[in-house]
A and B are shown apart, each in its own frame.
Chain A
Amino acid sequence: MDILKPRNEDECIEIVKWAVSEEQPLEIMSGGTKRKLGRPVEAATLVDISALAGISLYEPDELVMTAGPGTSLVDIEKALQENDQELAFEPADYGPLFGKTPGATTIGGILAGNISGPRRLKAGAARDHFLGARAVSGRGELFKAGGRVVKNVTGYDLCKVLAGSWGTLAIMTETTIKVLPAGQKIFTVLVSDLADKDAATAMAKALGSTFEVSGAAHIPAGLTPGSGTDKSDMAVTALRVEGIGPSVEYRASGLVELLANERECQIIKTTDSQKFWRNVRDCSYFTQNTNRPLWRISVAPTDGPDIVAAVRSRADISAFYDWAGGLVWMEFGSDPAGDGGAAIVREAVNATGGHATLIRAEDDIRAGVEVFHPQDPVLAGVTARLKNSFDPENILNPGRMYGGV
């Protein structure tokens, strides 16, 4: 495989123009942690944009940062921490899910995949914090999307489309993101031993309260985070509150009171909370067996337990819940049908509404099943036309999301 490593925007344009004229599809990669996520890309040339790195603008009191797509998330978070700020959408590091060492994720990869962590349910997704971009389309043209201010309705919001397009529409060459103050204290209320459905009810109750919960996850018994040693022999339902000291203390004890009827509650403080939520964010419970099919399922929060129960009745799975039950991470222990569990999972999800993405599976499985949730014909038509509007020759990451797209 030929690897090209552009050092600047002009070289990106040059590469795409060459690819168009030579009809050479390109695989676009930044940190490469999610390279095995998606259908296998049909390209003989890899474009590694990790050299388009560096923070070119960071104005803490304007809550804005501009960085190259290849900028490491570690570097971004370090700069933010010095100013008590953070990326509120809590980007995850999926590297370890694919057997890679932690810390290789870049902002470009996060935005291209629209990857958000537990705080997504309160603060929004990566796409909600993606203010502006410069990018090279599959036509070899540089275009600008959005701007550097939060409130902007000038023209179409192309940043939204770039977020979650997995490099199939354009090569981003510069990204501008919104940053926010970090909570000074982080407390987590842990409720023990709830069944999945009761946990969903408890989480709905907490989210419907005035306590401004910024994370709501349920980890069933028996799941162990790959990085830690603490094996839970009891299910734990976790509710996070963040902010200034007096507020956090008040809200944590309010939650304990609210949920006291459910089961015994315990409060863990900032450092332990950070560790707990990092595991939820990075899905660390499923980093041990990187050959096992892993699903990420987004549904209405109250439907989460039903979907898990439906799949469990037919397959050997482990699962936990984030986003108050609305995000289900599900690992298959075995794959008798050889489809990574696609048929069973999709049937369960289609019964309620929502979507399921096959985050991890062997190449041959990902080549054979839809990795992203199959679309109805009308929506698939819009998808294909939208792809065509950016990349008419199907040069950029062809086939990664859907066949022909």
Chain B
Amino acid sequence: MSGDPQSALVMPDLDPGILERRSDIVAQLRTLVPGEGVIADENEMRAFESDGLTAYRQLPFVVVLPETVEQVAAVLRYCHETGLKVVPRGAGTSLSGGALPLGDGVLLGLGKFSQIIDIDYDNRTATVQPGVTNLAITKAVEGNGFYYAPDPSSQIACTIGGNVAENSGGVHCLKYGLTTNNILGLQVVLINGDIVRIGGKHLDSDGYDLLGLLAGSEGLLGIVTEVTVRILRKPETARAVLIGFPTSEDAGACVAAIIGAGIIAGGMEMMDRLAIHAAEEFVHAGYPLDVEALLIVELDGPEAEVSDLLKRVEKIAKANKASVVRVSTSEAERDTFWAGRKAAFPAVGRISPDYYCMDGTIPRRQLPRVLSVMRELSEKYGLRVANVFHAGDGNLHPLILYDANVPGELEAAENFGADILRLCVEVGGVLTGEHGVGVEKRDLMYEMFSETDLEQQQRVKCAFDDKGLLNPGKVFPTLHRCAELGRMHIHGGKLPFPDIPRF
């Protein structure tokens, strides 16, 4: 997505007390992170003014790039004492604006934390610093036949720290889970500078599951400075089958039938006609062009299992009106099948000046209804939409095509997107499956949660961040003060509940 910010995104009010002390604050930060670790020059800070959601830009107050956990602790302690806001940033690939800077906040980049600390094959773990990229973990262990399972499409660039913050997914979530299911331990720095270790190489937490809470917390609870992940042995084989259908409904029915038959595929991806054509033009994956929907089903495991399941999938596909069924016969062919899917976003980028990528999840059986309403919305807004769908787990990525240079189109795209997400919630799904709420879906949170739900979530934030300094303006439509959230309003007190059975 490109173009200038046109939407009325309301961020927290700038703190004039902080703004007027800028040179003093920068000087203080330089004593905490010496060398080139503090960037205050406007031109140099430009590189940090947005993340993967480029429609929103904001120059940071100051950028700090610490190298050690002690520096992170010192910076956070200083921010806590000073009342200075902090926006954490990994590689800046967030698609929801999670790393959008604040004009009065420190942008804390963890890019220098790029060491792999420990690889332990006997316990099947890798311990790495947060700035290590997702793919680098797999690269570090693949020589021994292992890999790290979650594989967001930005895996070349995105970092594990960002993956933890966003609870990132990928195409293999149905079988292998999201980030939260694949991490065992964290070192975290709290806003007051305290350093804590959560978990380790062992399974399951003692006490409250803080690991599960931090995963997907979008940088609002603490700064992750070390991550221990589970690594898995790479499956013996993986083969993919390409299945074309005359309608999206048939494809959806086929997915349900495969799962209903007890088959959990390693990956199950669907593309609609517009996405198929865009991808085919771009990478020539050999996709059939006379189908309305294309399914890529990947099965992994021992050869005996994969070949047996492939036969069953083929049979199910034919029973569900598949017009094309093609099984990969070589590793190269399997890669080609995937090449089109993996290039789907840039491919769509080629056929439209701009596109806006959405990320709702729906119960799979609602797919026909959601697609048909989406077609109506497409007509209503006069914008095309291409659909890429993690069919196995119901995670939908509609790509809304627009031109930012045409007045009103960005706004229309955003409204279209919001309507799609509302629809996802309406059919029993959620606003975001893997991209996070960030600033993008922040104001839609009420579609899914009540005020009480959101207040409870914010009280959890207060348990970590009493002054609301960590990444404010993200996730929650309005951030209440902790003191206000702590108040209780219980009246009466003499509730006799005469009807409740007593013993």
Contacts and interface: CB of A to CB of B under 8 A. Distances in A.
Do A and B truly interact?
Answer: yes
Interface string A215-238: 000000000000000000000000
B501 A158 contact: no
Contacts of A21: 490-495
B208 A20 contact: no
Interface stretch (A259-267, A295-303, A337-345): A295-303
A354 interface: yes
Nearest to B492: A21
A372 B206 contact: yes
A377 B105 CA distance: 29
Contacts of B495: 14, 17-18, 21
Contacts of B174: 150
Contacts of A6: 500
Contacts of A389: 456, 459-460, 462-463
B138 interface: no
B452 interface: yes
B284 interface: no
Contact of B206 (A151, A254, A373): A373
Interface string A45-77: 000000100000001111110000000000000
B123 A5 contact: no
B30 interface: no
Contacts of B235: 210, 212
A357 B177 CA distance: 27
B129 interface: no
Choose among B190, B205, B436 the residue with the greatest number of A CB atoms under 10 Å from its CB.
B205
A207 B456 contact: no
Contact of A247 (B301, B434, B497): B301
A161 B208 CA distance: 6
A189 interface: no
Contacts of B262: 84-85, 181-182, 184
Given A153-B167, A301-B123, A382-B464, A14 B490 contact: no
Contacts of A258: none
Contacts of A84: 262
A170 to B, nearest CB: 9
Interface residues of A, number: 109
A16 to B, nearest CB: 9
Interface string A120-163: 11001101100000000101111111011111111111111101
A140 B491 CA distance: 11
Nearest to B235: A210
A250 B213 contact: no
A329 to B, nearest CB: 14
A78 to B, nearest CB: 18
A151 B395 contact: yes
Nearest to A213: B233
Most buried by B among A144, A160, A250, A393: A160
B418 to A, nearest CB: 14
A17 B259 CA distance: 44
B429 interface: yes
B173 A151 contact: yes
B99 to A, nearest CB: 15
Contact of A154 (B190, B304, B431, B488): B431
A149 B363 contact: yes
Contact of A250 (B302, B365, B463, B490): B302
B433 A149 contact: yes
Choose among B120, B390, B501 the residue with the greatest number of A CB atoms under 10 Å from its CB.
B501
A383 interface: yes
A156 B460 CA distance: 9
A309 interface: no
A121 B460 CA distance: 29
Given A4-B500, A124-B177, A164-B209, A298 B393 contact: no
Nearest to B429: A149
**Of B200, B262, B436, B499, which is in contact with the most chain A CB atoms at under 10 Å from its CB?**
B262
A59 B363 CA distance: 10
A232 B207 CA distance: 35
Given A163-B212, A247-B308, A301-B122, A383 B207 contact: yes
Contact of A160 (B123, B180, B394): B180
Contacts of A251: 302
A355 B259 CA distance: 37
B233 A164 contact: no
Contacts of B203: 120-121, 125, 298, 323, 326-327
A103 interface: no
A401 interface: yes
A110 interface: no
B208 A152 contact: no
Interface in B456-500: 456-457, 459-464, 475, 486, 488, 490-495, 497, 499-500
B241 to A, nearest CB: 17
Interface string A1-29: 01111110001001101101110000000
A392 B459 CA distance: 11
Nearest to A387: B208
Contact of B210 (A17, A204, A382): A382
A392 B456 CA distance: 12
A116 B308 CA distance: 30
A150 B500 contact: no
A382 B196 contact: yes
A351 interface: no
Contacts of B181: 124, 128
B497 to A, nearest CB: 5
Nearest to A148: B428
Contact of A20 (B167, B257, B490): B490
Contact of B437 (A22, A155, A302): A155
A154 B209 contact: no
A151 B456 contact: no
Contacts of B194: 378, 381
A124 to B, nearest CB: 5
Contacts of B502: 2-5
Contact of B302 (A121, A156, A211): A211
Contacts of B195: 378
A4 B495 CA distance: 13
A207 B202 CA distance: 15
B216 interface: yes
A5 B456 contact: no
Interface in A257-315: 298-302
B260 interface: yes
Which 7 residue pairs spanning A and B have beta carbons closest together? A160-B212, A21-B493, A247-B305, A181-B262, A355-B206, A300-B201, A385-B463
Given A120-B203, A354-B200, A392-B488, 19 more contacts: A4-B497, A11-B499, A14-B500, A17-B492, A116-B204, A120-B204, A128-B180, A140-B490, A154-B430, A155-B454, A164-B205, A181-B262, A210-B235, A244-B305, A251-B302, A298-B206, A323-B203, A373-B206, A388-B463
